[in-house]
Amino acid sequence: MEVKSQAIAFVKNVRTTPIDDNWKNIISNIELADHIPTEAFNHIEDFSHLEIIYYFDQVNPQDIVFSGHPRGNHNYPSVGIFGQRKKDRPNTLGLATVELLAHQGRTIKVKFLDAIDGTPILDIKPVFKEFEPQTDIRQPDWVTDMMKNYW
pLDDT at 127 over 90: yes
The whole-number pLDDT of residue 19 equals 84
Q: How many residues does the chain have?
A: 151
Dist CA 87 CA 71 (whole Å): 10
Average pLDDT over residues 45-69: 97
Per DSSP, the chain holds a count of helices (H) and strands (E) of 1, 8
101 has a pLDDT exceeding 90: yes
CA distances from 58 to 45, 75, 92, 117, 137 (A): 30, 27, 9, 11, 31
Q: In which band, very low, low, confident or very high, does the pLDDT at 11 lie, cut at 50, 70 and 90?
A: very high
pLDDT of residue 22: 87
pLDDT of residue 84: 95
Q: What is the model's pLDDT at position 46?
A: 98
At residue 18, the pLDDT reads 86
Sign of the C-alpha dihedral, residues 35, 40, 106, 112? negative
Instruction: Tell me what the mean pLDDT of segment 89-102 comes to.
Output: 97
Architecture of domain 9-146 in this structure: Beta Barrel (2.40)
Q: What is the pTM of this model?
A: 0.94
Q: Are 101 and 90 in contact (CB under 8 A)?
A: no
pLDDT range class, residue 39, cuts 50, 70, 90 = very high
| pLDDT of 90 strictly over 90 | yes
